[in-house]
Each structure stands twice: as structure tokens, then as C-alpha cells.
């Protein structure tokens, strides 16, 4: 009888441990800000100074913003762009940008940026140091952001990152078009907090 009671007690203890383990992840997640970025309300564009207008958008991309705590420095912004979705409004320019001289979309179909560090530089401004990859070449770059609507649960994340195209092997030009080496990529992201507490920001 005593043995049966002991086994029953162990069973209850095991069940309690299992229940606790099952609940802890959800309780932990409840304390973490969870954001959703909606592509329909967002866009990613680029601009290059040139003798003929050279700017456009990327029609296909995905982005996530993940935090491990309410501390803003724990955030990671991950952006993945389908290079072949470039749209300048000109088939000739699009074709050249997709070629091996520029994006090389057949061999390197994605352009990515993954932040490694977030530094708040003002009440609504941030520097995101991260790895930028294009044409299969990765280098550290900084995305400078301004955030609106902080603390409201919904807002805009706007920022620009500039890089030298020749650092990534894009050394050639476009026939009859003089283009600069500096490329500016601009992100306009709409983010909504779908669960968890707000991100703690410095005032």
C-alpha cells in the first residue's frame, strides 16, 4: 500500500514537472514583445545617383523583428529580399540589374540584412549594425532608423543604409548611363505589436 502511494506521489510530481515545463515557455513568451511586419503597408526601395534616374523598389521580400526581452538592445531585424523582384519601371534597367554584373540573381537570388547590434541614438533614432549580403558577399553595414508610434503598439520604422557597390563586386556600369558607386537602400516598415509588453526605450 505504501509502495502504491509512493508511486502515485511520483506520478503526481512527474505530472507537475511536465505541466510546469509546458507552461514556462508560454509565460516567458508573454513577457517578450512580439512584432509583426506587414509587407502590404511597407516597402523597400533603392536609389543610385546617375545621369539617368536609377531608382526602384523590390516587390518581394520578408522581414522579422524579434526581441528576447523588452530591452531594445536585444532586438534583431532580419530582412530578406528577392533580388529578381527589382522594379525600376524599365525592363532594360531591370535586366541589367539582375545580370551577373550587378545582382547576379541566378547565382545569388537573395539580398539580406541581419542586425547584430541595436544602439538607441536618440528618443526615436537607432543604429542597427549588421551583416549585409548581396551577390553572395557579406560585409558589416549600418542601417540608421527612425521609429514613430513607439509605445502605441503600432508604428513606422524608416531607415536608410548606404554602401559602395564596388565593395560587393559590382564594378561595371550600364551602357550610356553614368552611375555613382554609392547605393542607398531605404526601408519603410509598418510594425505592429501582437503580444507582450512594449519595448523599453530611453527618453
Average pLDDT over residues 109-124: 97
Non-local CB neighbours of 139 within 8 Å, separated by 6+ positions: 131, 132, 163, 167, 168
| Buried-state track 176-194, b at ≥16 Cβ within 10 A, e below 16 | eeebeeebebbbebbbebe
Domain boundaries, the chain: 1-30, 33-195
pLDDT interval class at 174 (50, 70, 90): confident
Give the chain's mean pLDDT. 88
pLDDT surpasses 70 at 1: no
Q: Is residue 137 very low, low, confident or very high in pLDDT (cuts 50, 70, 90)?
A: very high
Q: What angle do CA 68, 144, 65 make, to 5 degrees?
A: 25
Residue 179 and residue 170 in contact, taking contact as beta carbons nearer than 8 Å: no
Give the residue among 62, 61, 109, 58 at the shortest CA–CA distance from 87.
58
In angstroms, the CA 31 to CA 193 distance is 13
Instruction: Specify which residues 84 forms β-bridges with.
Output: none
Domain 33-195 architecture: Beta Barrel (2.40)
Q: What is the DSSP track for 110-168?
A: EEEEEEEEEEE-SSSEEEEEEEEEETTEEEEEEEEEEEESTTTTEEEEEEEEEEEGGGG
Model's pTM, two decimal places? 0.82
Give pLDDT, residue 30: 53
Residue-wise pLDDT for 2-46, tens only, equals: 444 444 555 555 554 455 445 454 444 458 999 999 888 899 999
Query: Residue 117 contacts by C-beta under 8 Å, 6 or more apart in sequence?
Result: 73, 128, 129, 130
Cα distance from N-terminal residue to C-terminal residue, the chain = 65
Give the model confidence (pLDDT) of 142-168 as tens digits. 999 999 987 788 899 999 999 999 999
Pull the grid cell for residue 175: 551602357
Amino acid at each position: 500500500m505504501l509502495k502504491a502511494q509512493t508511486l502515485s506521489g511520483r506520478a503526481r510530481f512527474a505530472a507537475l514537472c511536465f505541466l510546469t515545463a509546458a507552461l514556462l515557455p508560454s509565460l516567458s513568451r508573454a513577457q517578450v514583445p512580439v512584432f509583426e511586419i506587414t509587407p502590404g503597408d511597407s516597402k523597400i526601395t533603392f536609389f543610385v545617383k546617375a545621369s539617368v534616374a536609377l531608382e526602384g523598389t523590390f516587390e518581394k521580400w520578408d522581414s522579422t523583428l524579434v526581441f528576447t526581452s523588452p530591452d531594445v538592445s536585444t532586438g534583431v531585424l532580419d530582412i530578406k529580399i528577392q533580388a529578381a523582384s527589382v522594379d525600376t519601371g524599365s525592363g532594360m534597367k531591370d535586366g541589367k540589374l539582375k545580370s551577373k554584373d550587378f545582382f547576379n540573381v541566378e547565382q545569388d537570388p537573395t539580398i539580406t540584412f541581419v542586425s547584430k547590434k541595436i544602439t538607441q541614438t536618440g528618443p526615436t533614432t537607432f543604429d542597427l549594425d549588421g551583416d549585409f549580403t548581396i551577390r553572395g558577399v557579406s560585409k558589416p553595414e549600418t542601417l540608421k532608423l527612425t521609429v514613430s508610434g513607439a509605445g502605441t503598439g503600432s508604428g513606422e520604422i524608416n531607415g536608410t543604409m548606404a554602401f559602395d557597390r564596388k565593395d560587393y563586386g559590382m564594378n561595371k556600369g550600364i551602357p550610356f548611363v553614368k552611375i555613382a558607386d554609392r547605393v542607398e537602400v531605404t526601408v519603410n516598415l509598418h510594425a505592429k505589436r501582437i503580444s507582450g509588453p512594449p519595448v523599453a526605450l530611453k527618453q
